[in-house]
Chains A and B, each alone.
Chain A
Amino acid sequence: MTHTRRQFIGTIGAATALIGAPSILRAQAQGTFRIGALCPVTGSGSPFGSGMQKMIIAAAEAVNAAGGAAGRKIEIVSEDTQTSPQAAVLAAKKLIDVNKVQAVLGTWSSGVSLAVVPLTNDANIILMNTSGAPALSVPPANAKGLSYRFQATNDRFGRAFAEICEKEGFKRPATMAFNNASGVGNTEGFRKAWEAKGHKVVESVVYEPNQPTYRSELQKVLAANPDVIVTGSYLADTTIIMREWYQSGQPVKWVMPGWAASPDLVKAVGPDVVEGIISVDSVSNENAPSYKAYDEAYRKATGQPGQSNVYAAMTWDMVHAVALAIEAANGTDMAAINAKIREVSNPAGQQVYTYAEAKEALKKGKINFEGASSVLDFDQYGDVTPDFGVFFIEGGQLNRRYVVKI
């Protein structure tokens, strides 16, 4: 067996040499601030991931074009989470230990964010995510207050759904949820908020992904005679559910998250089917100049309109928030930077929309950066608190009727 052992040791040696050989151990160059972009470029997050990563790079270019932050250039090192917690942990380890990044931005799925956050906490660096899971707000995940969430939590979505149902006068809601953290999170959040108002949910169905038909689930829900069905669903499954519901002919209203009841849904099933559906989405800051800057960058990088990827707007804002905090802290000490994140983003202060403008204003006094994805105000948990737009689908158009604040 000596032969085997020698071969084995040789393999390990070769492995070490191969990993160690390239000049990967670039020391942190003087005058740069290194940020890790950890996006779901492959795997189930891939429709969003590449756009998210491109916007991190584009935003860093915008910051650097305006002279950098605290006299330093922002340097981006990218890794792919593969939308898998295990791959993400190793990628994050590499970013932190090999590339020595001082912030990790852009984790997307809750599973990935929850697996990465212990590592960033250990390293005392910032993690910014676009995940929905409530567990990210509180210890142990956010024990050090270094984690920031740029997406509305599923819980908040659920509360918004409950507000809307009450306002619209619905009495007998039922829920249908896609069986993943986000889908079930939406409907569970709704149920909690709805029951807290002293009402009852008449039926709840959770369905498995990737089915060719959802007829039996739909029949179960419709058998309870609801006046409205609240969903935590995605586009593909919603398309099938809408067709099958339309064929059933039973009148009922629908309240859906914006990523399901989107213009694509209208295109897929036709305006007659989706007439009157209520679509709820966190309000992107579409009329703000920051959104225009983002939209322009996104079109340039991908050839698509900015609204096709809400998460890319969030990663765009992430780089801005970090860079402004560095500028405000006037250094690279992480504790000082972390203390400034809320200060540059939350109200009280001059409203600013682009990095160059914000940097100027910062010299004069306090600023309030308004992002592309939302007005970017963080609560004590590091969660953004966006408002929710309530859209009614009328004649194939999504018309915003009102805004719900929570």
Chain B
Amino acid sequence: MEAYFIAIGIIALIYVILSLGLTLQYGLTGLINFGHVGFFAIGAYTSALLALKGVPLVLSFAAAAALAGLAAWPIGLVSLRLRDDYFAIVTLGFSEVVRIVITSERWLTNGVQGVPGIPRLYDSLGGSVAQLAVLVTVLAVTLVGVWIIRRIAGSPFGRLIEAIRDNEEAVQALGKDPARFKIQVLVVGAALAGIAGAFYAHYITYIVPDQFIPLVTFYVWMAIIMGGVGRVSGAIVGTAILMLFLEGSRFLRDIVPGVSEVDMASVRIGAVGLLLVLFIMYRPQGLMGDYTKR
């Protein structure tokens, strides 16, 4: 039982790191990033491929963050010229480009066959101790991420990006250049996604392009919307709610009688959808409240 909770905890924390990045980008700055999974994928593949070449994991994680952040740079440059909704389309396209490049560049990524046997963190500790160590590490990284985002939000930089979100023209009128700040925000958010990707790759131990579909991006969106947009606590709570719906529904079969094992799978997915709809109907501002609408 503990091992199952640890597994849920690790996956949930990986999603928390992802949603922290999106909180910075959308919640604070108002950038509609529909391509979050692209940076997640870059991080996962970077760290996995380097680790398989024998690079120490500390370096491969750093490289994952750096490369994912770097990939956000050109997207940031493009964003200077685009209105919000167009930026959303560009980022969605970007994440699909990443996935197709990974699929096609077989010499590097082994294409659709995927990369198996990615080394796990703390494998030498063995079994449940290693799992616990992974959980603690992801938790520590998440806390550092939370701390960084809070520091950013409370700093003059944070007030400026919130001003960009609320009224970009006013910021420009004050003599600030929103583009520069947008790029910085994108790079930091992408680097966080890259770290999340590295944790994911070394936890699942097998990555394949199919895992990096836009659905992952929208899970993260669901999480921050349910938690409350623009709040760090919202990112955490939203992810907790999402995991609760997704994993808690596995135990439906113990409560709901008269449904066959096979039908249960579909009932479960339906229940998750229903819960998500109901939640948003009755709590549209998210559990922690939507900061952007205040």
Contact A111 B117 (CB under 8 A): no
Residues 86-123 of A at the B interface (beta carbon under 8 Å): 86-87, 89-91, 93-94, 96-98, 110-111, 114-115, 118, 122
Residue B111 is within 8 A (CB to CB) of chain A in the complex: yes
Residue B79 is within 8 A (CB to CB) of chain A in the complex: no
Contacts of B111 in A (CB 8 A): 179, 184
Residue B285 is within 8 A (CB to CB) of chain A in the complex: no
Residue B151 is within 8 A (CB to CB) of chain A in the complex: no
Residues 107-160 of A at the B interface (beta carbon under 8 Å): 110-111, 114-115, 118, 122, 133, 135, 140-141
Residue A303 is within 8 A (CB to CB) of chain B in the complex: no
Q: Which residue of B lies closest to A180 (CB)?
A: B112
CB contact under 8 A between A96 and B3, given known A7-B288, A53-B261: yes
Contact A184 B113 (CB under 8 A): yes
Stretch at the interface among A18-26, A233-241, A347-355: A18-26
Stretch at the interface among B55-63, B85-93, B173-181, B246-254: B246-254
Complex Cα spacing A64 to B231, Å: 55
CB contact under 8 A between A80 and B11, given known A11-B237, A22-B251: no
Residues 176-191 of A at the B interface (beta carbon under 8 Å): 179-181, 183-185
Choice from A23, A57, A85, A91 contacting B211 with Cβ under 8 Å: A85
Choice from B117, B233, B246, B264 contacting A141 with Cβ under 8 Å: B117
Contact B261 A78 (CB under 8 A): yes
Complex Cα spacing A82 to B211, Å: 12
Contacts of B268 in A (CB 8 A): 80
Nearest Cβ on chain A to B31's Cβ, whole angstroms: 24
Choice from B116, B211, B236, B262 contacting A53 with Cβ under 8 Å: B262
Contact B11 A111 (CB under 8 A): no
Nearest Cβ on chain A to B262's Cβ, whole angstroms: 4
Choice from B246, B248, B253, B262 contacting A41 with Cβ under 8 Å: B262
Contact B247 A19 (CB under 8 A): yes
Contact B3 A7 (CB under 8 A): no
Contact flags (1/0) for B254-268 with A, using CB distance below 8 Å? 110000011011101
Contact B7 A76 (CB under 8 A): no
Complex Cα spacing A22 to B254, Å: 7
CB contact under 8 A between A111 and B206, given known A8-B236, A86-B211, A94-B4: yes
Residue B184 is within 8 A (CB to CB) of chain A in the complex: no
Residue from B113, B211, B244 with most neighbouring chain A CB atoms (10 Å):
B113
Residue B292 is within 8 A (CB to CB) of chain A in the complex: no
Contact flags (1/0) for B199-223 with A, using CB distance below 8 Å? 0100011101011000000000000
Nearest Cβ on chain A to B205's Cβ, whole angstroms: 5
Complex Cα spacing A85 to B261, Å: 20
Contact A23 B112 (CB under 8 A): no
Choice from B205, B236, B251 contacting A24 with Cβ under 8 Å: B251
Contact A8 B237 (CB under 8 A): yes
Contacts of B243 in A (CB 8 A): 15
Residue A307 is within 8 A (CB to CB) of chain B in the complex: no
User: DSSP class of A's interface residues: helix, strand, loop or mixed?
Assistant: helix
Complex Cα spacing A352 to B211, Å: 42
Contact flags (1/0) for B94-123 with A, using CB distance below 8 Å? 000000100100000001111011001000
Contact flags (1/0) for A62-82 with B, using CB distance below 8 Å? 000000000000001011101
Residue B186 is within 8 A (CB to CB) of chain A in the complex: no
Contact B265 A41 (CB under 8 A): yes
Complex Cα spacing A1 to B114, Å: 44
Contacts of A309 in B (CB 8 A): none
Choice from B4, B11, B231, B255 contacting A86 with Cβ under 8 Å: B11
Contact A111 B211 (CB under 8 A): yes
Contact A80 B204 (CB under 8 A): no
Residue B37 is within 8 A (CB to CB) of chain A in the complex: no
Contact B233 A93 (CB under 8 A): no
Contact B4 A97 (CB under 8 A): yes
Residue A37 is within 8 A (CB to CB) of chain B in the complex: yes
Contact B210 A93 (CB under 8 A): no
Residues 315-350 of A at the B interface (beta carbon under 8 Å): none
Q: Which residue of A lies closest to B253 (CB)?
A: A78
CB contact under 8 A between A185 and B120, given known A8-B236, A41-B266, A42-B265: no
Contacts of A15 in B (CB 8 A): 240, 243-244, 248
CB contact under 8 A between A54 and B254, given known A18-B244, A90-B7: no
Q: Which residue of B lies closest to A41 (CB)?
A: B265
Contacts of A8 in B (CB 8 A): 233, 236-237, 288
Residues 156-204 of B at the A interface (beta carbon under 8 Å): 200, 204
Complex Cα spacing A41 to B250, Å: 13
Nearest Cβ on chain B to A129's Cβ, whole angstroms: 13
Residue from B112, B210, B254, B255 with most neighbouring chain A CB atoms (10 Å):
B112
Contacts of B280 in A (CB 8 A): none
Contact A57 B261 (CB under 8 A): yes
Complex Cα spacing A181 to B208, Å: 9
Contacts of A91 in B (CB 8 A): 250
- A-B residue pairs in contact (CB < 8 Å), sample of 21: A15-B243, A37-B261, A50-B265, A57-B261, A78-B262, A80-B265, A80-B268, A82-B265, A86-B204, A86-B211, A89-B11, A90-B8, A93-B4, A96-B3, A97-B3, A97-B7, A122-B127, A135-B116, A135-B117, A179-B103, A183-B112
Q: Which residues of A contact B (CB under 8 A)?
A: 1, 4-5, 7-8, 11-12, 15, 18-19, 22-25, 37, 41-42, 49-50, 53-54, 57, 76, 78-80, 82, 84-87, 89-91, 93-94, 96-98, 110-111, 114-115, 118, 122, 133, 135, 140-141, 179-181, 183-185, 208
